[in-house]
Amino acid sequence: MIVGSANIETLAEDAATIESFGTSEIVFEDVVCFQMTMEMRNQAREAVLPKGLHPTVPATLSMQAWEISRSPFGEFKMVVCRIGCRSGVRARGYSTRVYTNSQIAATALKQQFGFSAQLAEIDFRHSFDGTDVKVIFESRVIFEAACLDPEPMNNSDVQYTGTLNLAHTPNGLRLVQLEAHHVASQVERLSSRLLNFDSEAWGNSLLDPYTVVSASLAYETVTFPPVRFVCKPDELAFSGTEAV
Amino acid sequence: MKFGIFFELSTPRPLTRRNEWQVYHNGLEQCRLADELGFDHVWAVEHHFLEEYSHCSSPEVFLSAVAAQTRRIRIGHGAVVCVPEMNHPVRVAERAAALDIISNGRLEVGTARSSTWTELGGFQVNPDDTKKTWDEFCRVLPKMWTQEEFEWQGKGFSMPSRNVLPKPYQNPHPPMWVTVTTPGTELDAADRGLGCLGVSAAGYEEQERRTKEYHRRIQLCDPVGGVINDQVHTMNFLYCDEDYRKARDIGVPMVNAFNVANTHLYWTREAYPTRAYQTLGNAGAGMKAKKTAVDDPSLAKGLPEGVGVGDPEHLINTIKKWEEIGVTGINFLLNAMEMVPQEQVLASMKLFAKEVMPRFRSKEDLAAPVYTPTSLPAFVGAEK
C-alpha cells in the first residue's frame, strides 16, 4: 500500500487554527462552482501527502473555484487546490492552499473550516460560451484556466469528494474532514486548458499538474454540516479517525 | 451452487519482477489444485495500470497456461474490456475462440467496460462511449463466432466482410457474462440473455433485490447470442480454517488489503463528469462491516456480512444464505497482495473442498463434480 511521506511539520507550517468546532451547518447560496481535474506525474505522489492518506493511482490534483453570492461571510470568491487521495477507503481531496478575495471570508475559512487561506485577486468569468479563472497573488498569476464549449449535463453528473484540511484543532494537529453537500440546478462540462500553475504558491513545489482530465461548472447551493470527524495526519484513517 | 476462484493477480510492493513472477506462479498452482478439488471455474480479470491491485493485464495468456495445466475446470475469461481502444472486437473473438479450442471447450467469456479513469484515461477512451461499445461488442461477438462472413457498420468499429477465425469449439459459442459493479448492470445482462458476474461484494439484501429482478427480466430477454446464460455469480473471499478465530485473524486482513488497494484506483466518475458512470464503483467503500459484540467470525470487526471467511460450519451457513437468495455460483478471491502465505491458501482450499463443497452438491454433481461442455443446455456438439 502506498501512503503519504511528506514531513508533517513542514505541511503544518501555515496550518490554520480552529479554536472550537461549530455545531450548526453553514450554507452557501447562489454558488457557481468550477472544478478542474488534472493528473500529476507519479514521482511525487507520496511526497505531497501526509502519512495518514493514500495517493490515488495515478496521482491527481483538482482546482475548485467558487463564486459565492450569499453566505454567513458575505459575498466572496475562493479557489482551492486539492490533491486526490484516500482516507481509509473514502475518496477525498487534501487541500494545500486556498485563496480568497475577502478578508472576512479568509478569517472564517481559517477559523471554521481549517483552510489555509490567503488573500488574492480572483478573476472568475463564466458565460454561455465558456469559463475563465485567474488567480493573481502578489502581482503574479498563480493559476489560470481557460475553458470553452460548455455541454449541458445532468445535475448529478459531477462528483465532488470531501475535503481534508490540515489544521490545529482542539484535538491537536488534525486532518479536518469537510463534507460539503452540493445541490446543483445546472451543470456543464467544459473543454479546458491549464495556462498557468505556480506550484509553490499552491503550497508545494512538487505539485505537477501536467495534463487536464476534465472541467465542469455547476450552479448550486452548498451546505456544510458541522464537522463530524478529524483524522490524525500521521496515522491511517482506520485507527486514526476521531469523532468530534 | 457452483464454486469458482477469481484472480486479480494483486501484487504487493515492492513491485519487483520476482514478486510478479511469484504471484503468477502461485496463481497457477492454485488453479491446478482447484481443478483437482472439483472447483467449477477459474476467472481472471483484465485490468491495466492498476498498481498492486491487479497485474492481470493479459488474462488470455494466464488462462492459456491454466487451460494447459488443468483438465476439467472451466476457464473464465472475465472480463474482457469491451472498448475498441483496448481490444478490437475481432481480436477478442479470435483470442476467445483459440482459448476455447486449447481448453477443449471449457471457456466462459465475460464482458466489461472498465470503471476506472486509471485505465480509460491510459488508453484515452471517452467514458461517454463505453456502455455503447460494450453493447456493440456483446452483439457482434456471437456473430463473429458463428458466421462465415461477418461485416459491420457500427459506432465503435466497422469492417468489411471477413471470416473471423478460428471458430470456438463450443457450439454455437461459449457462454457469455457481464461483470456487474454498478447497480442496474444486472438488468443490462438479463435483457441480453447474459450471465451476471458480480465483481463487487454486495450484502445479502442488496444482492437479493438484484438477483430477483435479474431472474425475472431474463425470462423476457432478447438474447444477443445463441446461448442464454441465466446464472448469477457473486464475488467473495475465501479463507477457511477449522479454528474460526484463526480464519478471522488471517482472512480479515486479506479482505481489508483488497479493499484498500481497490480504493486507491481513480474512479471514472471522480475524474470525468459523465452520464455513463453514475457510481464510483469503489468496492471497498461499498462493503459495510456489521457492528456487534458477539465473538463470531461472521460478525468480526471489519468483516461485512456474507464473506467467506471462517470455519467450515460458518461457510456452509453463509453459502446457504447466498443460495436462498438465488445466487447460482460464488467466485472466491483466495488471496490479496499475498497477505496469506501460499501453503495456507492451498490448505484453505482443501478444507473448503472437503468440508463445505460436498454440502452443496447433488449426487449427480458429486459423481461428475465439474460440468462439461456436453452438459451445457445449448450444446449441440462441435464439428470435428
Q: pLDDT of A44-93, one tens digit each?
A: 899 999 999 999 999 999 999 999 999 999 999 999 999 999 999 899 99
pLDDT one digit per residue (tens) for chain B, 384 residues: 999 999 999 999 999 999 999 999 999 999 999 999 999 999 999 999 999 999 999 999 999 999 999 999 999 998 999 999 999 999 999 999 999 999 999 999 999 999 999 999 999 999 999 999 999 999 999 999 999 999 999 999 999 999 999 999 999 999 999 998 888 899 999 999 999 998 666 788 888 888 999 999 999 999 999 989 999 999 999 999 999 999 999 999 999 999 889 988 999 999 999 988 887 765 555 555 555 444 444 455 567 789 999 999 999 999 999 999 999 999 999 999 999 999 999 999 999 999 999 999 877 766 654 444 444 434 444 444
Q: Number of CB pairs < 8 Å for A and B? A: 85
Looking at residue B135, its amino acid is: D
Q: Which residues pair with B135 in a beta bridge?
A: none
Closest A-chain CA to B277: A157
CATH value at residue A195: 2.40.400.10
Give B265's contacts in chain A (Cβ within 8 Å): 56-57
CB distance B271–A214 less than 8 Å? Answer: yes
Domain encompassing residue A89: 8-243
Query: Using CB atoms, which residue from A57, A88, A214 is nearest to B273?
Result: A214
| Burial environment of residue B4 by CB neighbours within 10 A (0 to 12, 13 to 18, 19 or more) | buried
Q: Does A2 touch chain B (CB under 8 A)?
A: yes
CB distance B275–A154 less than 8 Å? Answer: yes
Q: Is residue A127 part of a domain?
A: yes
Closest B-chain CA to A56: B264
According to DSSP, residue A112 is labeled: I
Report ipTM for this prediction: 0.93
Tell me the CATH number for domain B2-375. 3.20.20.30
Q: Is residue A95 part of a domain?
A: yes
Q: Is residue A2 part of a domain?
A: no
CB distance A91–B275 less than 8 Å? Answer: no
Closest A-chain CA to B12: A1
Q: Is residue A58 part of a domain?
A: yes
Query: Using CB atoms, which residue from B118, B259, B270 is nearest to A58?
Result: B118
C-alpha–C-alpha distance, residues B206 and B228, integer Å: 24
C-alpha–C-alpha distance, residues A38 and A244, integer Å: 32
CA distance A206 to chain B (A): 20
CA distance B269 to chain A (A): 6
Give B201's contacts in chain A (Cβ within 8 Å): none
Query: Using CB atoms, which residue from B51, B52, B285 is nearest to A90?
Result: B285
What pLDDT does B279 receive? 76
Cα angle value B139/B131/A56 (rounded, 5°): 140
CA atoms within 13 A on the CB side of A61: 28
Domain spans in chain B, listed from the N-terminal domain onward: 2-375
Q: Does B157 touch chain A (CB under 8 A)?
A: no
Which residue has cell 481490444?
B87
Domain count within chain A: 1
Q: Does B123 touch chain A (CB under 8 A)?
A: no
CB distance B274–A91 less than 8 Å? Answer: no
Q: Report the pLDDT averaged over residues A127-153.
A: 97
C-alpha–C-alpha distance, residues B262 and B281, integer Å: 10
| Burial environment of residue B88 by CB neighbours within 10 A (0 to 12, 13 to 18, 19 or more) | middle
Specify the range with the lowest mean pLDDT, choosing from A193-207, A213-227, B34-48, B178-192. Answer: B178-192
